[in-house]
Structure 1
Amino acid sequence: MENISNDKKAATMALVMGTLAMLVSFMAWSSVAPLATAFAPKLGFVAGTGAQKVLVAVPVLLGSIMRIPMGILSDRLGGKKVFIALMIFTLIPLVIIPHITSYTAMLWVLLLLGMAGTSFAVAISYVSVWFPAEKQGLALGIAGMGNIGNAVSALILPSIIGPAKHIDYAYNFLIVLIAVFTVIFALTTKEMPTDKNKTLGSALSVAKEKDTWYLSLFYMLTFGSFMAFGNLIPTLIGKGNVNGFVIADNPARVLVIAGFWAAGFSAVATIMRPLGGAIADKILPKKMLMFVFAGVFVSTLVLAEGTKNFAILMTGVFLLAVFAGIGNGVVFKMVPYVSKKNTGAVTGFVGAIGGLGGFVYPFVVAGIGNLHISFLVLTGFTIICAIVLWAVFFRGGDTIVKNPRN
C-alpha cells in the first residue's frame, strides 16, 4: 500500500467529505427516534411503550453487526466505492418507510435502514489512511463528528413533519439530501489505496487480538451510551413518558422540544469526541479512559437520582454526553494501533460491539421497567470497564499506544 499521508489536499477532502458522508448517513440511521411518537397512530402502537423502544432500537442492530464486513470491504475494495454504494443502498428503505402501515413490516424495513449506521466503519477506514499515526487521534475524532447526524435529525425532522405529522416530508427530505450528497462525494474525493492481496482470513485475524476485544468493551460503554440515550431521550421525556414529565402544554410541540433535548445531547457528545482524540494524542489514552470512566460513573449516579426530577435527569444526561463523547475519541485514537493494515476490520469489530451496546440498553430499560434500576445497571457496567482497564492496562502493562512524553 502506497504512503499517501503527504497528499494534503486529498487528505483534507477525505476528512471533510468522509465526515459529511457519515453525517447524512447517520441522519437517516437515527431518523426513527425523533419521529417515533408520530409513527404510533400509523403503526398501531401506544407512544411511550416498549413497542416504541423496540422500533427505535431495531435500526441499531444491523447498523452495528454489519460494521464488521463493511470495514473489511472498505479496506479491500476502497472506502470511496463502498461509501457510494452504501449511500445508494440507504435510499431503498428511505423510499419505503413512509408507505408502511404495519408495525411488523416496519421492523423489517428498519433493519435495512440500519445499514446506514455502518457508515462509521467505512469512514474511519477511509479517513485513517490519509494521516500519520501521530495525527490520527484528532483526525479520527473529527471524522467521528459525523455522529452529529443524530443531533441534526432530532433537531430538524420533527419540525419538517409539522403539527400534521407528515412523515413523508421528513423522508423525502432525507432522500434528496443523500442522493445529492452521493454525487458530491463521488465527484470530490479520491479513492484510498488498497491491498489487493489482503484475504478475508487476514482481516478477520484482528479478532484474535485481545486488544480488539478490550477496546470493544470500552466502546460498548461510551458509544453504546451515546447511541442509547440519543435515541431514548424522546421516549424518556416525550409523550407518554413514565416519569410524567410535561415539557410542553401543546402536544404538537412535545415532539419538537423532545427533539431539541435529544439533539443537544448528541451535539455535546459529538463535539467532545475530537477533543478526546486530540488529548489522547498528547496523553496516554489509558489515563484518559480512567478519567472518562470516573465521569461516566458519576453521570449514571446523577441519572439514577433524577428519575422524578427533570432538572437532575437532564444534568445527568449532559454529563454523560461530555464523558461518553471524550471516551469515543480516546478509544478510536487506539484503534489504528491494534492492526495497522486492518484498521477497517478493527473499526468494524469495535464499532459493532459499541453499537450493540446502543441496541441492547433500550431493551434493558424496557425489560426492567424501572429507570432508577436501569441507570444503576449502567453504573455497574462502568465499574466493570474500569476494573478491566486497571487490571490489563495499568497493572498488566498493556498500553497499545506508547507515548514517550508520558
Structure 2
Amino acid sequence: MTEQTQGYGSRKDAYLALTLSTVAMIACFMSWSNFAPLATQVGQMFHLSVANRTLLLATPVLLGSIMRIPVGILSDKYGGKKVYLILMAFILIPLFMIPHVHSFGMLLFAALLVGMAGTSFAVGVSYASVWFPKKQQGLALGIVSMGNMGNAVAAMTLPYISKSYGFDAVYYFLIGLTVVLGILFAIFCKEMPVDKTKTLKGALSVTKESSTWYLSLFYFLTFGLFVAFTNLTPMFLTGLFGYSQVTAGLYSALFAGLCTLIRPIGGYWADKKRPMTLLLWTFSAIIVFAIVIMLSFKNEALFIAGIVLVGLAAGIGNGVIFKMVPFVSSGNTGAVTGFVGAMGGLGGFFPPLVIGWIKEWTGSYELGIALLVLTAIICLFALWKHFIHDAVHIVK
C-alpha cells in the first residue's frame, strides 16, 4: 500500500480507522448479542417459554437490521466517525435499562433498543472502506467485518461475568467498555471524506440495481445463518445435550469465532479469484452441512461438527459477498451496505422465531433446519441464474 490510500489520509490514518472501527464493532456486537449466552438464566428469571426465549433473541436483530439502511446512508453523507460516536452513546441507554426492568414486556423494549448496536456494521464498513483502494477492499472489509466477533466474545465472557459477579454486572461491564472505546475512537480516528451534496434520493438509487437485491438475498443466508446459529447454539446445547450455560456459551463462541475469523480469508480469496465461483461452492457447502445438522439432533458429536462446518462456509460467504458490495454503486458503499446488511440481519431475525414456533408445534427442530436448506437452494439457483448463466459481472 502506498502512503496515500485512495487519495485520502496516510497509511497510519487508514490502519487506525480499520483497527478502531473493528474493535468498536466488537463492543457493539457484544451488546447486540448479549441475551444469547444468558438465554437460560434470563428464561428462568422471567419464566419464559421456548417461543418467548427465541422472541427475545430475535428482537435486537430486528431494529439492528432495519436501521442499517438509514445509518449506512447517514455515514456516507455526514461521516462514519460522527455516526459511530452517536451510535455508541445511544446504546448506553438500553444497556442501563436491562438490569432495572421487571417485566418481559419492558425487557423486550430494551432488547429492541439495544438492537441499534447491530447497525455498527453499516457504519464500520462505510467508514473503513474509503481508506483503501478497491483492489484491497476484499481483505480490508473482511478485517473490519471481524467486528462480528463480538458475538463470540460475548458468548465467552458474559456467562462468566454473570456467574462470578451477578447478572447486573454484565451490563455495567458493557457500559464501561462502550464508553472507553467511544473515547478512543473520538481521540485517535479522523473523519472520513463525505459528499454533503448527496441526497436521500441519490442514496436510494442503489435499490434500482438488481445486484443490490441479489447480494441482499445471499447475505440473508450467510450472515443470517451466522447470527441465528450464534444465538441458538446455547439453547440447542443446554436443551438437547444438557450442557451448562457457561459451556454452551463457549461452543457458541467457537461457532461465532470461526465464522468471523475466516471471513477475511473469504474476502482475500475474492480479491484473487472470481467471487461468483466461490459463492457457488459456499452455497453448496451450506446445503450439505445444514443437512448434517438436520439429521444429527440426537448425535452430539455430529451435531457440533455440522455447526462448526456450516459456520466456516457462512464465514467465507460473508467475506466474498462484501468484496462485491463496493462495486454495485460507486460512492454509495454505505447505502448498499445498509441494504445488504439489513437483509443479512433479518436473516438472523426470522430463523430463531420460526425454529421456536416449529419446536412449540411439532416438538422438534428438524423442520426449521430444513427451511434453511431450502433457502440455500434458492440462493444457489439465483446465483447461477443472475451471475453465472446471465454473465452479470460487477466484479471482474
* TM-score bracket relative to the smaller structure: over 0.9
Q: Does 1:215 align with 2:215?
A: yes
Question: 1-side partners of 2:297 and 2:150: how far apart?
Answer: 27
- The answer for the alignment partner of 1:251 in structure 2 is none
Q: Which residue of 2 aligns with 1:324?
A: 314
Rounded to whole Å, the distance in 1 between the matches of 2:249 and 2:44 is: 19
Partner of 2:348: 358
- Once the two structures are superposed, the pairs formed by residues 140-219 of structure 1 within 5 Å of their partners are 140-162=141-163, 166-219=166-219
Q: Are the counterparts in 2 of residues 5 and 132 from structure 1 also a CA contact under 8 Å?
A: no
Q: How far does residue 44 in structure 1 lie from its aligned partner after superposition?
A: 2.9
1:390 paired to 2:380? no
Contact (CA 8 Å) 2:228, 2:347: kept in 1 or not? Answer: yes
Q: Take 1:185 and 1:387, find their aligned partners in 2: how far apart are those partners?
A: 42
CA distance in 1, matches of 2:8, 2:392: 28
1:11 equivalent to 2:1? Answer no
Aligned match of 1:304: 294
Q: Tell me if structure 2 keeps the 8 A contact 1:63–1:118.
A: yes
Following TM superposition, by how much is the alpha carbon of 1:5 offset from its aligned partner in structure 2, in angstroms?
Answer: 4.9
Mapped to 2, the partners of 1:313 and 1:153 lie a distance apart of 22
Residue 355 of structure 2 is aligned to residue 379 of structure 1: no
1:6 CA displacement: 6.0
- Contact conserved, 1:70 with 1:348, CA < 8 A, in 2? yes
Q: Report the AA paired with residue 390 of structure 2.
A: G
Deviations 1:90-119 (A, max 9, x none): 101001100111001111111100000000
Identify the match of residue 255 of structure 1 among 245, 248, 256.
Answer: 245
Q: 1:387 deviation in Å?
A: 0.5
Q: How many residues align?
A: 388
Partner in structure 2 of residue 101 of structure 1: 102
**What corresponds to 1:63 in structure 2?**
64
CA distance in structure 1 between the partners assigned to 2:77 and 2:7 by the alignment: 16
Conserved 8 A contact 2:293-2:303? yes
Inter-partner Cα distance in structure 1 for 2:18 and 2:352: 32
- Residues 65 and 345, structure 2, Cα contact 8 Å, conserved in 1: yes
Query: Contact 1:42 / 1:101 at 8 angstroms: preserved in 2?
Result: no
Q: Which structure 2 residues correspond to residues 242-321 of structure 1 after superposition, within 5 A?
A: 243=240, 245-247=241-243, 254-321=244-311
Report SS of the residue matched to 1:113.
Answer: helix
- Displacement of 1:7: 2.0
Aligned residues: CA RMSD? 1.2
Q: Which amino acid aligns with 1:385?
A: C
Q: 1:24 aligns with which of 9, 20, 27?
A: 27
2-side partners of 1:391 and 1:358: how far apart?
Answer: 25
Gaps of 5+ in 2: none
- Structure 1 residue 41: deviation in Å? 3.2
The equivalent of 1:38 in structure 2 is 41
Alignment-mate amino acid for residue 125 of structure 2: I
* Rounded Cα–Cα distance in structure 2 between residues aligned with 1:112 and 1:375: 29
Q: Indicate the larger mover: 373-382 or 145-154.
A: 373-382
CA distance in 1, matches of 2:43, 2:356: 17
Residue 396 (structure 1) shift: 0.3
Q: Is the 8 A contact 2:30 2:153 kept in 1?
A: yes
Give the distance between the partners of 2:221 and 2:282, measured in 1 at CA.
10
TM-score (norm 1): 0.94
* 1:400 aligns to 2:394 (yes or no): yes
For 1:59 and 1:384, how far apart are their aligned partners in 2?
Answer: 26
Aligned to 2:133: 132
Contact preservation (8 Å) 1:334, 1:401: yes
User: What is the CA distance between 1:365 and its match in structure 2?
Assistant: 0.6
The answer on whether the counterparts of 2:6 and 2:132 sit within 8 Å (CA) in structure 1 is no
